[in-house]
Chains A and B, each alone.
Chain A
Amino acid sequence: MMEMEEEEVGRRNETRKVIALIERATNSTVPEVDHLLLKAIKTVVRYSDFELRLAAETLMDLMQRDHSQVRYLALQIIDELFMRSKLFRTILIENLDQLLSLSVGFRRNLPLPAPPAVASVLRSKAIEFLEKWNVSFGVHYRQLRLGYDYLKNTLRLQFPNMQANALRIQQERRERERRSKEILLSKYEHLKENLSSIKGGLLSTLNEIDECLDILHLKQELESEDVLDDEEIAEFCSLELQQIRLDAMKEGEKVYESSDNKVVFDVLRELYKLLVTKHLVSIQEWISVLVRVEVPDNRFRDSTLKKFIDIRNRLTSVKIKCEEAGCTLQNTSKLDEEEDFWEEGNAVSIENSSGVPNKKNKHSDMPSTSRKVSNDNLGLLNKESNGSDTDNVVRERKEVKSNPLKSKLIAEAPVVRWGSYLDSWGSNRVFMANQRGLELESHWGRVDDEAIIPADKIAELNVLATPYEEKQIEIQPCRAPLRRGGLCQRRDRKLCPFHGPIIPREDEGRPINQSPSEEMNIDSRTDLVEQLAKQAVKNVRDRDIDMAKKREIDKKSLKRAKLAKVREHNEAVLRDAALASTSGSATIGEDNEDKLSAREQKKSLASMLRKKVTSKDRISQKLLSSHARDNTVRLNDSWDDVKYREAFPNQW
């Protein structure tokens, strides 16, 4: 008795479980059923027919909901179970027409419910599922065939036609394969005919390379025999020394390019290049053709394949030998390019790493050209930037070199705009007021020749008027994360109208939390920046060619430092404000997050049904409101009245 009760309770719990799972899976706004939930539903349903029946019932109930999203998710679960459980199929097939009318919405009196976007997805998905089901299980269920036939042939709905598509794709693939086979076969035939010539070409190259190598080694042996004596061997008594000596000998055995074997090396390199770029590739190709081709008579193929593999092995071994001798392909190509660049139309022999003399030659060449170029460049730069200054600068440079004091002074001097006031810069002269060279004496009366303008007056007159120039501050984008993804690119000074105060943010748009330590950092950083700036100034003064550039950098860094300061200040103010307004704990970041989460929550199934308020709606609301209408009507009436009175002035 107890057991039974327990079982009953357990069952009831279980029932709640599957229903709850399905409810949870369908109560979502995302376009896919949660993977884990789906898995859970499957496992629950798999081991209990009771649960399965319950699930089918629940799902059919959900399909009747007045919400396309719920139906859509339910349909996905139905599809999962339908493809798996026979019992589920038999249950569902009974009500297939109902299911179809709820998911495809083909009955005029039962259209699909609200969010139209989801509804259209639901319809297409349902049609797709039906086709899939029909392909997999149509043989066993007349109802499926019937439903499919009805939708396709009577209602003429467009089915995706997966199976036919798959068939077509397969057909195409087969066709492609057949064609490639044909190509292979023709290649094979070609090979059969031209085997001897191909082989001949390969072997001749191989032989030539062999010969070249032989020549080189012969010479080397002659030389090395001179170098090494038996007496010397005795000196290398210890093991290590012996080892070193062996290495040295090996190194010595290597053939180096020299003036007398240069011709041989050139030929060798040529041949090597041929070998690597042409023969190795071609033989690889032939081998792959032979491996892939299918011919009734295998004997020729096998024998050729064997031969080719042998040849390939030989080729690779020869290639290794060549590389030991010092031929490398990449190097040559690179050097080639360089040569083309520097010396046009000069098809010079292939460079290699061991070609020391050649390289030297190059080095002697290179500086001259490069210097020329750099000079040109500089000149261009100067002309572009401030042509008038260049001479000055150059002259100054010369002087600076001679006079350290002056350089020091220059370092301290302020940078001012050029103007006429510079003529009397620092002078204490007084000006004669009436001696301008114009002979206008006694024209208007007596003239005081000695009248002077005092120096302080002159200075006063010559005071440089500097209009206020706003410092160009780069306005930072707001960079708050947008709902659609991406960051807000609005540029406002302090406050973004959508995302509040502009604060430094990470790459993903999360605000960087400012803590006191951070501030300290910033402080120290700004200090550092300033120091750096000073240093930079000094450096600039020393290296006056780059002065202009450096100054710019300097300015920038200063600006940055200032900006950082401003920002820091702003933030401090804002934080204070926030602290004052809220009870104290909430920081800006948290506030933002709260808003975001609220928005998330708002996006529920109900919100999907809500209609978006468009500007048209707002306008219509304004224009069609009873008040506005009344006003219009009254206005019209009064106009009519006026017209009438004008037309018939004698009638009151």
Chain B
Amino acid sequence: MQTWKQIRDREDGKLPSRTFANRIKSNRISDLQLSNHKEIVSSHKGSINSLQIDFSERRYLLSAASDSSVAVYDIQRATNYEGGGVISKHSSLFVVDKQHESGHKYAVSSAIWYPIDTGLFITASYDHHINVWDTNTTKVVVNFKMPGKVYKTAMSTLATSHMLIAAGTEDVQVRLCDIASGAFAHTLSGHRADGVMNVEWSTSSEWVLITGGCDGAIRFWDIRRAGCFRLLDQSRTQLGRRPPILKHSAITKDSSTKLRTAQKKHANGGGSKQLPIGRVPSKGPMKQRLHPGMLSTQDRATAHYGAVTGLKVTEDGMYLLSTGSDSRLRLWDVESSCDTLVNYETVRLQTSKPIQLATAQDSALVFVPCMRTVKAFDMWSGNTYTTLGGHYECVNACWFNQQDQELYTGGNDRQILVWSPSRSIADQMDEGANEDQDNWSS
């Protein structure tokens, strides 16, 4: 009923078509469940470490697994059908594994598409190598030798002026590998211990790189300059969401004071600095002066106790989600570099491996692998929206496909599961003769 009314509203022009589409999409997202009609036949023999769908066609799923294999699946067209055409099975288009002449020796920790097209993909492995592959010939085009195990690689989707692969490795330095030249363009040093688990490019600036290290620090780097320019400190907090710029002027003193008092209640003592909400922290002269080196006291701030295992920037680039081995999920305001104190009801997170988070459209939901399940949290309230349980072992990676509103998850049980909105009733009607029905003996 609601849908018909909305359609009429859209026809009448009461409802902007974009809003209409968003509503439909969020409706669909709201009832994600394990898809019965779409199945990915995993060709991996080890745990799935990373999943990514290409950005140009949003059709090819790239997966990397611990058995040093990388596979590509076509998620639009099924390779074969089962159960009377009800279940579509998607087998891999090709697999690159140990047998391949230049395949990785050890587990592949990360595999990403070249952001511009599907002609290239980049794999990073525990065998200290980053390979750049030509998709069509499945041959290595460029090869980077890293100083240690590579945990994570990332390429900027915005970049127009560089082709850099940011790589987080066992080494404390983050390296930027230039595909064009085949050399390390930059080495970013600042993390202290045990390497860098996660790297992520900002979605608002092509020069900004965010890294999460095993020392619990999240650092922001401007790749044009030396040193990190921002360090997230878990003791710097702000309550809730920063109001949009437009409404900034409308905030009265009253409300701001109210908020401040509320803030004080929540603030934990111990010299934690409180920034008033609504005030964009201006880069003061002291900050400016501090930048390249920063004060050593400030330089020791941590975002998590233990290692930072997951990073995800929201679509608009204003917020950053991070998970740590302290089983916390934090939402950071990038601009103010404060923890927004949203309490996500995570129970326990995997600590030993980097995990891959995903956000739904308009950053309404965040999907976090919580051990054997994937939890969907409301990003702003932190409430658990749904718990998607289907994996039999720990989940490592999830990827949300904006186009089909489908979620792909991969875990240690070497399965890639598809979570899709429940099908319409009409679809279910023509499921075939052997319907699922009650079967009571009379």
A-side residues, CB < 8 A to B, are: 42, 46, 83-87, 89, 94-95, 97, 137, 139-143, 145-147, 149-150, 154
A97 touches B372 (CB 8 A): yes
A97–B34 Cα distance when bound, in Å, is 14
Q: Which residues of chain A are near B389, meaning CB under 8 Å?
A: 94-95, 97
A85–B417 Cα distance when bound, in Å, is 26
A139 touches B83 (CB 8 A): yes
Q: Can you sample 19 A-B contacts with CB below 8 Å?
A: A42-B440, A83-B439, A84-B440, A85-B438, A86-B438, A89-B436, A94-B389, A97-B372, A139-B82, A139-B83, A139-B86, A141-B36, A142-B34, A142-B39, A142-B390, A146-B415, A150-B413, A154-B413, A154-B414
B36 touches A85 (CB 8 A): no
A143–B39 Cα distance when bound, in Å, is 11
B-side residues, CB < 8 A to A, are: 34-36, 39, 82-84, 86-87, 372, 389-392, 413-415, 417, 434, 436-441
Q: Chain A residue with minimal CB distance to B39?
A: A142
A28–B439 Cα distance when bound, in Å, is 28
Q: Which residues of chain B are near A85, meaning CB under 8 Å?
A: 438-440
A42–B440 Cα distance when bound, in Å, is 9
B87 touches A139 (CB 8 A): yes
With A142-B34, A146-B390 known, 20 other A-B pairs at CB within 8 A are A83-B439, A84-B440, A86-B437, A86-B438, A87-B438, A95-B389, A97-B372, A97-B389, A97-B391, A137-B436, A139-B86, A139-B87, A139-B434, A139-B436, A141-B36, A142-B35, A145-B39, A146-B415, A149-B415, A150-B392
Q: Which residues of chain B are near A147, meaning CB under 8 Å?
A: 392
A140–B414 Cα distance when bound, in Å, is 22
Complex partner residue of B436 from A46, A86, A146, A150, CB under 8 angstroms: A86
Q: Chain A residue with minimal CB distance to B36?
A: A142
Q: Which residues of chain A are near B413, meaning CB under 8 Å?
A: 150, 154
6 A-B pairs with least C-beta separation: A139-B83, A140-B436, A142-B36, A150-B392, A142-B34, A84-B439
Given A89-B436, A97-B372, A154-B392, A146:B87 Cβ within 8 A: no
Q: Chain B residue with minimal CB distance to A139?
A: B83
A110–B390 Cα distance when bound, in Å, is 18
Distance to closest chain A CB from B65 (angstroms): 13
A97 touches B440 (CB 8 A): no
Complex partner residue of A84 from B82, B372, B392, B441, CB under 8 angstroms: B441
Q: Which residues of chain A are near B39, meaning CB under 8 Å?
A: 142, 145
Q: Which residues of chain A are near B372, meaning CB under 8 Å?
A: 97
Question: Do most interface residues of chain B lie in helix, strand or loop, or is the interface mixed?
Answer: loop
A89–B34 Cα distance when bound, in Å, is 15
Q: Which residues of chain A are near B391, meaning CB under 8 Å?
A: 97
Given A140-B36, A154-B413, A46:B392 Cβ within 8 A: no
Q: Which residues of chain B are near A142, meaning CB under 8 Å?
A: 34-36, 39, 390
Given A142-B35, A147-B392, A84:B438 Cβ within 8 A: yes
Q: Which residues of chain A are near B86, meaning CB under 8 Å?
A: 139
Distance to closest chain A CB from B235 (angstroms): 35
Q: Chain B residue with minimal CB distance to A151?
A: B392
Q: Which residues of chain A are near B440, meaning CB under 8 Å?
A: 42, 46, 84-85
A379–B76 Cα distance when bound, in Å, is 104
A-B contacts, CB under 8 A, total: 54
A154–B411 Cα distance when bound, in Å, is 12
B83 touches A97 (CB 8 A): no
Q: Which residues of chain A are near B415, meaning CB under 8 Å?
A: 146, 149-150
Q: Which residues of chain A are near B392, meaning CB under 8 Å?
A: 97, 146-147, 150, 154
A142–B390 Cα distance when bound, in Å, is 9
Given A150-B415, A154-B413, A154-B414, A143:B390 Cβ within 8 A: yes
Distance to closest chain B CB from A149 (angstroms): 8
Q: Which residues of chain A are near B35, meaning CB under 8 Å?
A: 142
Given A86-B437, A97-B372, A146:B83 Cβ within 8 A: no
A139–B439 Cα distance when bound, in Å, is 16
A95–B390 Cα distance when bound, in Å, is 9
Q: Which of A83, A87, A97, A139: most chain B CB closer than 10 A? A: A139
A141–B431 Cα distance when bound, in Å, is 13
Q: Chain B residue with minimal CB distance to A89?
A: B436
A95–B392 Cα distance when bound, in Å, is 11
Q: Chain B residue with minimal CB distance to A140?
A: B436
Distance to closest chain A CB from B238 (angstroms): 38
A139–B36 Cα distance when bound, in Å, is 8
Q: Which residues of chain A are near B82, meaning CB under 8 Å?
A: 139
Distance to closest chain A CB from B123 (angstroms): 24
A142–B392 Cα distance when bound, in Å, is 13
Q: Which residues of chain B are near A97, meaning CB under 8 Å?
A: 372, 389-392
Complex partner residue of B417 from A83, A137, A146, CB under 8 angstroms: A146
A143 touches B414 (CB 8 A): no
Q: Chain B residue with minimal CB distance to A42?
A: B440
A94–B434 Cα distance when bound, in Å, is 22
A94–B36 Cα distance when bound, in Å, is 13
Distance to closest chain B CB from A581 (angstroms): 57
Q: Chain A residue with minimal CB distance to B415?
A: A146
A450–B394 Cα distance when bound, in Å, is 126
Distance to closest chain B CB from A88 (angstroms): 9
Q: Chain B residue with minimal CB distance to A144?
A: B36
Distance to closest chain A CB from B421 (angstroms): 14
Distance to closest chain A CB from B423 (angstroms): 12
A137–B441 Cα distance when bound, in Å, is 17
A149–B42 Cα distance when bound, in Å, is 11
Distance to closest chain A CB from B207 (angstroms): 43
A150–B390 Cα distance when bound, in Å, is 11
Q: Which residues of chain A are near B439, meaning CB under 8 Å?
A: 83-85
A588–B391 Cα distance when bound, in Å, is 64
A46–B441 Cα distance when bound, in Å, is 10
A141–B84 Cα distance when bound, in Å, is 14
Q: Which of A87, A97, A142, A143: most chain B CB closer than 10 A? A: A142
Q: Chain B residue with minimal CB distance to A147?
A: B392
Q: Which residues of chain B are near A141, meaning CB under 8 Å?
A: 36
A84–B417 Cα distance when bound, in Å, is 28
Q: Which of B34, B35, B391, B440: most chain A CB closer than 10 A? A: B440
Distance to closest chain B CB from A373 (angstroms): 69
Q: Which residues of chain B are near A83, meaning CB under 8 Å?
A: 439
Q: Which residues of chain B are near A46, meaning CB under 8 Å?
A: 440
A87–B413 Cα distance when bound, in Å, is 28
Q: Which residues of chain B are near A139, meaning CB under 8 Å?
A: 82-84, 86-87, 434, 436
B34 touches A143 (CB 8 A): yes
Q: Which of B36, B86, B391, B437: most chain A CB closer than 10 A? A: B36
A139–B83 Cα distance when bound, in Å, is 6
Distance to closest chain B CB from A610 (angstroms): 34
A146–B42 Cα distance when bound, in Å, is 12
A143–B82 Cα distance when bound, in Å, is 16
A87–B34 Cα distance when bound, in Å, is 17
Distance to closest chain A CB from B35 (angstroms): 7
Q: Which residues of chain B are near A140, meaning CB under 8 Å?
A: 36, 436
Q: Which residues of chain B are near A154, meaning CB under 8 Å?
A: 392, 413-414
A373–B415 Cα distance when bound, in Å, is 89
Distance to closest chain B CB from A535 (angstroms): 68
A391–B20 Cα distance when bound, in Å, is 128
A146–B35 Cα distance when bound, in Å, is 11
